[in-house]
Structure 1
Amino acid sequence: MRDLPDDDDWLTDRFRAIGLRLRAERLNQNLTQDDVWLAAGVDRRTLQFVEAGKEPKLGTLLRIAYVLGLSLADLES
């Protein structure tokens, strides 16, 4: 078992990396943010926040990943 770091910077870094991965995949598929938020059934601002690296709800992350054809594991790479 690993101990958590003393601060939550690692979480911020992970959320930012996930947001960048989602954005990169969206652009790779030539999709707009409108395409994705409408298909995922989330609010426009929610998608913008997720792509900007803000902490998403798990359900939101699953919806966006599903629309893009990604698994949660794909977001970690």
Structure 2
Amino acid sequence: MPAEQPQWVIDARRAVGDRIRVRRLHLNMTQETLAHASGIDRSTIQRMEAGAEMKLSHLLHVAAALRVHVTDLLHG
């Protein structure tokens, strides 16, 4: 069982998820459209936007599909 994450990690993941959602909506994309554009399952996009743990490779694919640099999603 993985160790419990500190609150700052949980907050940072939620912030990344919020940035993904805001950018997706700004581009008038659905989760399904983003999933197709990034090559990732819609359920994974949903979990990322909810602030769940995410793979760096998924984050890189999503950033490319959203036409932003990954650091824009990490740091706003």
Hey, what does 1:14 align to over in structure 2? Answer: 12
Hey, what does 1:50 align to over in structure 2? Answer: 48
Query: 1:12 & 1:71 partners in 2: Cα distance?
Result: 22
Q: TM-score, normalised by structure 2?
A: 0.88
For 1:40, give the aligned amino acid. S
Q: CA RMSD in A?
A: 1.0
Shift of the alpha carbon at 1:57?
A: 0.3
Unaligned segments of structure 2, at least 5 residues: none
How many residues align? The count is 71
Hey, what does 2:38 align to over in structure 1? Answer: 40
Query: 2:27 & 2:58 partners in 1: Cα distance?
Result: 19
Query: 1:29 & 1:72 partners in 2: Cα distance?
Result: 16
Query: 1:28 & 1:17 partners in 2: Cα distance?
Result: 16
Bigger radius of gyration among the two: 1
Q: TM-score, normalised by structure 1?
A: 0.87
For 2:59, give the aligned amino acid. L
For 1:20, give the aligned amino acid. D
Residue 30 in structure 1 maps to residue 31 in structure 2 = no
Query: 2:69 & 2:45 partners in 1: Cα distance?
Result: 17
Query: 1:22 & 1:44 partners in 2: Cα distance?
Result: 13
Q: Where does structure 1 differ by over 4 angstroms across 4 or more consecutive aligned residues?
A: none
Hey, what does 1:74 align to over in structure 2? Answer: 72
